[in-house]
Structures are given as structure tokens and as C-alpha cells.
Amino acid sequence: MGRDGRPTPQTGPTAVVAALVASVRAALDAAGLATADIAAAGLSAPGPLDHRTGIILTTQNIAGFVDANFPIAARLAADLGGPQVFVDRDTAMAAIGEGTIGAAKGARDFVYLTVSTGVGGAIVSGGRMIRGVTNTAGELGHFPVGMDRDVRCRCGSFGCVEAYAAGRNLAEAYGAAEASIVYAKAATGDARAVALIARAEAALANLAVGIVNALNPERIVVGGSVAEHEPAHVLEPMRRAIAERAFKVPAAAAKVVPSALGADVSIIGAALAARDRASGGGDWFL
């Protein structure tokens, strides 16, 4: 197996494609393979995007991709000179991974939720991924759970789950370099850190109740670095809120479980998606 990781360039799409191509080639070299040995490749990317055409429409997280309508799949395939490239949202890829071989395997109704630098998700209902008319269904991090207009979100709205519970926003609200510092301070009894984490827990709890009542899933699979390192502040508040406040019938059927695939969930999902799409399968998530 070959593996390569490198920072995402912030100088525009051309630089991003070049870095991806270099990373692919480095990973193939490490595995003793050539580009010609690869039939298909999967790319997990922030959205909004068109997963069928492989075009990133816009994203706030990578410089140069705002209103870009950039055909990243076609550009990567051309520059690599070989495999078909299939693109999807990072959270959709994560749901594909968990639904195929992970914590949601066998479930026809589940939600994947990531609590990390940001908060996002994907929804599978009746064995089909819910896409919505613009392929943005599942943006659970931007579900409004608060009425405080001072808690602004990067999306331009206020009161979003992400504004309260994302690791990046927790760190910024406290004035720390990263969220782990806020959790460590709260563990020592720091009043401001305790208050910020309590607010984040309440946001996630409200989201969990809304998911259960509105979507009636069998499982809510929770991944992401914050969820992985702080389950007592992420999974447990969600479980308590569902038990205490959600409708009893759907609450009894819903389980909140950690990701089975960890930090590689989107990478694994991308590989599985590429395999299935290249072979003409994967209808459930298209």
C-alpha cells in the first residue's frame, strides 16, 4: 500500500490539481505501481459540487474555488493520463464508506455526521442517499439550533450547529490555536471553556433530536476528529438528548455510534465509490 499526504495549496485550482497529481504519483511509487495499473480513482472534496460531472461548483474552504465551476475530475484524469476520476462530497464519501463496510453496514436508514474542524453530514433513507435538487442535502452543520444572532457562521447565517460545535469555531471563540486546548482548559474547571463546551454540547443535542424526529434513522454514525477524541462531549450529549426529548418511537430505534473507519473514512469511501461507479454500480448513492 502506498500513502502520501500534503497540505492543500491555497493559490487556486491549478495548484490544487498539481498537488493532487504529485500526491497520487508519490503514493503509487511507494506501492510499486504505475498510473496504468489504476482503473479508477476517487476524490473526496468539499462542496457544493456535481458528483455526476465531477465539477466543484464553489467552496469557501479552498482559495480560488469560490464560484469556480471547476471540472476537477476531468482535469485530474487528463493530468494523470490514465484512470477515470470520480468526485463526491467528503461527507457523502464518508457515508459510502460507513454504509458499505463500516458502522452503518446493513442499515438502510442512517445519517453520517462529522464533528471536526467543521460539522457536516450525509443522509441515507430507504437505502438511497438523499441528494436534494442541488446536491446539498445533508449539510447538517448548517441546521439552525440557536437564536443568538451574535453567533455567526461562515456560511453567513447565525445559530448554525457548526458555529457552536465545530473545532475551529470553538478554538476561535476561546482564543486558542485548536479545540483540544479548550477541552483541556474545561477539564481544569476554566469557566469560559466549560461554558463554550456546554454550548457546543447543547447544539449537538438539539441537532440529534431534530435528526431522529425528522428522519427516523436506525443509526447516526458520528466521525471527525472532535468526535473521536471527545466522545463524552459529542456522542454522549446526543444520546442523552434523544433518550430524553425525541419522539419515543423513533428514539427507541435510533442508535448513536462512533465511526468504524476513523480518520480514513472519506478516503476509504472514495476508493469504494470509484470501484463501484467504474463497474457500473453504486446506484444507491448516486
Q: What is the pTM of this model?
A: 0.95
Query: Which residue, among 225, 222, 249, has the nearest Cα to 236 in the 3D structure?
Result: 222
In order of their start, the domains of the chain are 13-92+264-285 (3.30.420.40), 106-259 (3.30.420.40)
For the stretch 123-172, pLDDT in tens is 999 999 999 999 999 999 999 999 989 899 988 899 999 999 999 999 99
Q: Read off the pLDDT of each residue in 162-187 and give the average, rounded to a whole number.
A: 97
Q: What is the pLDDT of residue 47?
A: 87
Higher pLDDT, 17 or 65: 17
Residue 136 to residue 158: CA distance in whole angstroms: 19
For the stretch 202-247, pLDDT in tens is 999 999 999 999 999 999 999 999 999 999 999 999 999 999 999 9
Q: What is the pLDDT of residue 82?
A: 82
For the stretch 59-100, pLDDT in tens is 877 888 888 899 999 999 999 998 999 999 999 999 999 999
Residue 139 to residue 141: CA distance in whole angstroms: 6
Residue 174 to residue 196: CA distance in whole angstroms: 8
The burial of 101, by beta-carbon neighbours within 10 Å (0-12 exposed, 13-18 middle, 19 or more buried), is given as middle
Q: Which pairing describes strands 110-115 and 119-125: parallel, antiparallel, or unpaired?
A: antiparallel
Buried b (16+ CB within 10 A) or exposed e, 38-63: bebbbbbbbbebbbeebbbbebeebe
User: In a 3-state reduction of DSSP, which class is residue 118?
Assistant: coil
The mean pLDDT value of the chain amounts to: 96
φ, ψ dihedrals at 123, nearest 5°: -125, 130
Q: What is the pLDDT of residue 68?
A: 86
